[in-house]
Amino acid sequence: MYRARTCSTPRDHGHPEESHPLSASYFERIDPHHYKPTAHASGAWDTDEMHFSPLAGLVVHAIDGYLAERPRQGGLLVSRISFDILGRLALDECEIRVESIRPGRTIELLEAVVDIAGRTAVRARAWLLAEGDTRAVAGGGDTRLAPPPDAIAARSLGSVWPGGHCASVDFRPLAPAEPGRATAWISTHLDLVAGEPSTPLASYVALIDTANGIAVRRSPTEWMFPNVDLTIHLHRQPEGRWVGLDTTVVFGPTGQGLTSSVLHDLHGPVGQAQQTLTVRPLPGRPPQAAPGA
């Protein structure tokens, strides 16, 4: 998650759930366009901020609502969605507005804007493409992740990251993580929005941004590497509650990095995700070379 202010060690400002009962969701709806985050949505770099992962899912939820209100114009499916994170994501009420900026019967481009405290914090664009039967030519891509999550013991992300979102994730690594490399299944028992069903796509997208935290290349107590964007390409619509991540993190020599993930569900690969990273040593800590460099 991108932070506009000076980077610092991941901070945990306490646990609101100790004094207030927690909702079983990441967000609660206030009105048709406004939502309030719960403590489950709190971030990993700073628990006074939102983790971007559930907010990305909320944007897709808002897009789904926008499409549901229109007269049906034939099947259009999200093929790509990109999110630009424009600043600090305060753990506060947010407003989401969706509009079509390139209408069409077979191809359409939607834009969603997230405002927090009167300031635009996220701008997202989604390409929707016509649904059709291409099973006769379907193929290619990566092999299915194995073993399935039911055969893997759950682990905690809380040993590396603070925050409500990371605590809410059911994390099942397929193998011990290496610096900058991990494969894992992740899921959550929480609803995206309290009392509202969400589509499989919205629930799926609500977990993808977690990828930047499962393949830690350097300790987040020594280095910052938040992402300033998230771009998701899909060749198939995801199904089910499990998100499979085959993730690689690369740090370049001039302060940039990239987290790349092949995305899976239980039936196989569904697409890819990319996150652009800003890599910085924490204030007061001199840069150190990676072991063996």
pLDDT of residue 22: 63
Question: Cα 221–156–282 angle (5° rounding)?
Answer: 10
What are the residue ranges of helices labelled H in the chain? 52-68, 164-168, 200-208, 211-214
CA dihedral over 253, 212, 166, 35, signed as positive or negative: positive
pLDDT of residue 283: 85
pLDDT of residue 19: 37
* Three-class DSSP category at 292: coil
pLDDT of residue 28: 98
> How many CA atoms, within 13 angstroms, populate the side-chain half-sphere of residue 9?
9
pLDDT of residue 71: 79
pLDDT of residue 141: 79
User: What's the whole-number mean pLDDT along residues 255-260?
Assistant: 99
pLDDT of residue 171: 97
Residue 72 has pLDDT above 80, yes or no: no
25-130+150-281: CATH number: 2.40.160.210
Q: How far, in whole angstroms, is CA 273 from its chain's centroid?
A: 10
Q: pLDDT confidence of 288, banded at 50, 70, 90?
A: low
Residue 205 has pLDDT above 60, yes or no: yes
User: What's the whole-number mean pLDDT along residues 45-52?
Assistant: 95
Rounded alpha-carbon distances, angstroms, from residue 214 to 127, 198, 285: 28, 25, 23
pLDDT in tens, 141-168: 788 999 999 999 999 898 889 999 999 9
User: What's the whole-number mean pLDDT along residues 48-57?
Assistant: 98
pLDDT of residue 7: 38
pLDDT of residue 23: 79
E strand segments, the chain = 25-29, 34-37, 76-85, 94-102, 107-116, 119-130, 169-173, 181-188, 191-193, 223-224, 229-234, 243-251, 256-265, 268-278, 280-281
Contact status, residue 43 vs residue 50, Cβ threshold 8 Å: yes
Residue 10 has pLDDT above 60, yes or no: no
pLDDT in tens, 74-121: 699 999 999 999 999 999 999 999 999 999 999 999 999 999 999 999
pLDDT, mean over the chain: 91
Domain ranges of the chain: 25-130+150-281
User: What's the whole-number mean pLDDT along residues 174-195?
Assistant: 96
